[in-house]
Structure 1
Amino acid sequence: MLGETDYIKKYASIVAQGNVAGVQFHPEKSQANGLKLLSNFAELSDKLQFAAMPSPTGRGLG
């Protein structure tokens, strides 16, 4: 677990294992801090490998 959120109770909001990372929140809605987080993640993107999976609805990527 890389980060947690305390909203009524604490829960994992950023997790990573190996070369996979995930967030359980909407950083784009966090204004300057969220945009900085997305910017930092984008800077890492040339060092990361991304996998695309079909959407469960069949309409694009999930």
Structure 2
Amino acid sequence: MLSQLLMINQEPGAMPGEGLTAVETFTYFVAAPVGLFLLISLISWALTGEKKKSKSTSSITHIE
């Protein structure tokens, strides 16, 4: 009975494969997106962080 209910929502000719395990689901839909977000955040933070001020200032780059 349950298998018939699951077949109702499938497209004609569809041949679904096996479902994902809990570990695969967590990896694909939680761990990977969070990891990518952290990696992109780290890269953008590193590239846009404050620059070290040079000790010698020039009148061209600094106005007092």
- Please report the TM-score for the alignment, with normalisation by the length of structure 2: 0.26
- Bigger CA radius of gyration: 2
In proportion to residue count, which structure has more helix? 2
By relative contact order (CA 8 Å, sep 6+), the higher-ranking structure is 1
Structure with the bigger percentage of strand: 1
